[in-house]
Structure 1
Amino acid sequence: MIQGGRSGVGRYVIALSETLIKRGLELHLAGLDADRSHFPMIPDEHWVSIPASFDSGAKNLLWHQASLPGIIRHNGYDVVHIPSYRRMVINCPAPQVATIHDCAPFIMAEKYDALRGFFGRKVVPWIARRMDRVIAVSATAGKDIQHYLGVTPERLTLIPNGIDHARFQPASENALADFRTRRALTKPYLIYIARFEHPAKNHVRLIEAFGRFREESGLDWQLVLGGAPWHGKEVIDEAWQSSTHRDAIRMEGFVEDDELALWYGAAEALVFPSLMEGFGFPVIEAQACGTLAVSSNATSLAEVNGPAALPFDPTSVDSITAALHQLGQMDTAERTRRIAQGIEWAAQYRWEKHAEQCEQVYREVAGG
């Protein structure tokens, strides 16, 4: 589930692993050797190597059901934590905790092919109800887990995600100026960080709304789209090529972690039109960097956005455009107020707090 650290689940596992080890827990981690470099904190003797021949979805699922239980039994683990509903173990010989980030197969049926959709909608609820505990990363996700998966409240624990505040914090003006020069960012820009996935990440509506905003406002702003290619990228590419404002839209591709905070910090705002999120890391990360957020109010984003963000209906191009106009017309005083409010809001989301609460869950399911 690490996917080179390019997925939300991957980032979750990396951050949680680092923080749990800092807390003194003995953590063993199962992963593909291709992702080993993301876990320098894991000693070799605590690394459980998943064979490369089991890297694909169906084969990887099979490894978790057929091979992992024997490894768990042999090593005598106290607790097993599965960080995604896709890999929960049906017959786990140790207490099992699962983090379920969202209920996407139920909310966005078109997101998956028929086989994955069937697995998510029919098989996952049955497995989820067998968990000793399920962790939800937002209140919205928790409600969905109860509604769609049938997990009872006593088996569900809400533990919001965190972010790395050592990385995501306001940068100096000199650092931002150097970054703009290095990346040839000569005009004010909006940034959207999400994998290029259609329709879930909603790039097509954003591209249309951005074009309208430029025409109606007269502001010579750019739009930077950063993310890894995913299902439906060709539809997004077509929308970009068809836009009369394509020269103002920069298809940046995947943004490396060491520059992500600078991409946020140098932007006029993060614009985040996603149709469905279990949490929505970029909204919190951007605000922690002192950047305004203009964000979808769908699913968990309505709670994660906080009071400083400018919300919009992601299914309406008119609504997205109106929010961009509100941003473009914002005076300095309001901008300063919202930035400070956003930094304060983001400060509550800490991996240390998340790991502490996860550890408490582990102790509860393992009998203390």
Structure 2
Amino acid sequence: MKLILGVDAISPPLTGIGRYTWELARQYATGDYGFDALRFFSAGRWIADPSLLLSTAPKNAPRSRLKKVLSPPASLRKWRLKQGMRHSLFHSPNYFLPESADSGVVTIHDLSVFKYPETHPVERLRHFERSFESTLQRANHLITDSEAIREEVSGFFGWSKEKITAVHLGVPQEFQPYEASSLVAPLAEIGLTPGSYGLCVSTLEPRKRIDRLLDAYSELPLRLRETCQLVLAGSSGWLNDALREKIRRGEGEGWLRYLGFVPEVSLPALYAGARAFFLPSLYEGFGLPVLEALASGVPTLTSNCSSLPEVAGGAAWLVEPDNHDALREGIEKVITDDIWRVTAIQRGLDVAREMTWQKCARQTVAVYESLSGTRLRR
């Protein structure tokens, strides 16, 4: 089997889809999966080494005048790309097949663009309006991150469930419990101490319900907020002016720290040092931060909707994200109920142990095999 993996989502800093794409690329490039050929494709060009996409160098650096003069016309470039993709299976981990791919496998992570369009920037909505129907017409098979999204995709687009496969994501080994003594130095660099904070890792966007989390946390008993400050980490996102005002207010009152984007290398220590983790998102295709928290041995609260109960596997305290009282009470329980915490930590480690990127890659390759009728060596 000849495989082409789309790697357009690999861009620093890695988001959830970028992480998924990078892990598949890394697994395929370093593992023995028996591909007859493996190539990577992004934005109309072949990529020799996907790790180079993680460089912070500008992607659209101007080319020399000579290269522009000698470049072939667009029609010839398209023809060459189509020819280069013949007799290969194309997998796009990021919703869209390129125009040059006549068919392929597509990963749909969630349907938030269709279910909650008001929570997305206009540019993203227009991209789906222009290109997604064409992708569905050409796709041979769809992959989702969870059974919950598999059910949604089948119902929303009228696809047979036989043509959709759920493959859970994974968690790197770096996310694990650490001795508190080993966390003191790395956490001190950002002014934290092990066990003294609750954590939320999330992009600042409406469906994540960070505003609800802040509202609930602000009503915890003062002593609890003083001994367990809320730490919020994540990139800036969009449509969040009101949320940013709440963040400024919480920081001014002293119970909230907003770290902004945290480098990936620092995340395992940040997770492992937390007393509790919170992600009351309204809708997730998978919810990688929940799995990362469970793998780190951190008692976790998350939502009782979309894929999150499936990912948590009975290890997290589940709440209705828009139920203010239930969210506030759940936060307090996860921080203070020592009997529940002991059980939740062990259950979370058991759940996370079953979700690895190696397993994700193997199950994804099994989808390729089912389409090609070929059993690869692995």
Instruction: Please state how far the C-alpha of 1:174 moved relative to its aligned partner.
Output: 1.7
Structure 2: how far apart are the matches of 1:182 and 1:109? 39
Structure 1 segment 1-368 matched on structure 2, within 5 A: 1-24=9-32, 25=35, 26-31=37-42, 39=51, 70-74=80-84, 76=86, 78-85=88-95, 87-89=96-98, 92-93=101-102, 95-114=103-122, 116-117=124-125, 120=128, 124-125=132-133, 127-164=135-172, 166-186=173-193, 188-197=196-205, 199-215=206-222, 220-243=227-250, 246-331=253-338, 333-368=339-374
Equivalent in the alignment of 1:62:
none
Structure 1: how far apart are the matches of 2:256 and 2:212? 13
Instruction: Please state how far the C-alpha of 1:298 moved relative to its aligned partner.
Output: 2.1
Structure 1: how far apart are the matches of 2:295 and 2:79? 40
What SS does the corresponding residue of 1:271 show, helix, strand or coil? strand
**Would you say the 8 A contact 1:124–1:149 is kept in 2?**
no
Q: Over aligned residue pairs, what C-alpha RMSD do you find?
A: 3.0
**Would you say the 8 A contact 2:216–2:327 is kept in 1?**
yes
Residues 330-354 of structure 1 deviation map (CA, whole Å, 9 limit, x = unaligned) = 12x4322211111001111111111
Change (3 A) 1:224 1:244: closer
Change (3 A) 1:243 1:23: closer
**Would you say the 8 A contact 1:83–1:99 is kept in 2?**
yes
Structure 1: how far apart are the matches of 2:268 and 2:317? 20
Amino acid at match of 1:172: E
Amino acid at match of 1:39: S
Change (3 A) 1:129 1:75: closer
Structure 2: how far apart are the matches of 1:68 and 1:84? 21
Structure 2: how far apart are the matches of 1:365 and 1:91? 20
Change (3 A) 1:196 1:218: closer
Which structure has the greater CA radius of gyration?
2
Equivalent in the alignment of 2:71:
none
Instruction: Please state how far the C-alpha of 1:288 moved relative to its aligned partner.
Output: 0.7
Structure 1: how far apart are the matches of 2:136 and 2:346? 40
**Would you say the 8 A contact 1:5–1:38 is kept in 2?**
no
What SS does the corresponding residue of 1:238 show, helix, strand or coil? helix
Change (3 A) 1:41 1:172: farther
**Would you say the 8 A contact 1:288–1:342 is kept in 2?**
yes
**Would you say the 8 A contact 1:226–1:251 is kept in 2?**
yes
Unaligned runs of 5+ in 1: 43-48, 54-64
Instruction: Please state how far the C-alpha of 1:121 moved relative to its aligned partner.
Output: 6.4
**Would you say the 8 A contact 1:227–1:255 is kept in 2?**
yes
What SS does the corresponding residue of 2:168 show, helix, strand or coil? coil
Count of residue pairs brought into register by the alignment: 345
Instruction: Please state how far the C-alpha of 1:246 moved relative to its aligned partner.
Output: 3.8
Instruction: Please state how far the C-alpha of 1:367 moved relative to its aligned partner.
Output: 4.3
Instruction: Please state how far the C-alpha of 1:228 moved relative to its aligned partner.
Output: 0.9
**Would you say the 8 A contact 1:129–1:150 is kept in 2?**
no
**Greater Cα shift, 186-195 or 282-291:** 186-195
**Would you say the 8 A contact 1:265–1:289 is kept in 2?**
yes
Q: Percent identity?
A: 26
Instruction: Please state how far the C-alpha of 1:364 moved relative to its aligned partner.
Output: 2.9
Instruction: Please state how far the C-alpha of 1:74 moved relative to its aligned partner.
Output: 2.3
Change (3 A) 1:216 1:284: same
Unaligned runs of 5+ in 2: 1-8, 63-74
Residues 178-229 of structure 1 deviation map (CA, whole Å, 9 limit, x = unaligned) = 23333321471111111122x1221111111111014485653211111111
Amino acid at match of 1:161: L
Structure 2: how far apart are the matches of 1:66 and 1:319? 60
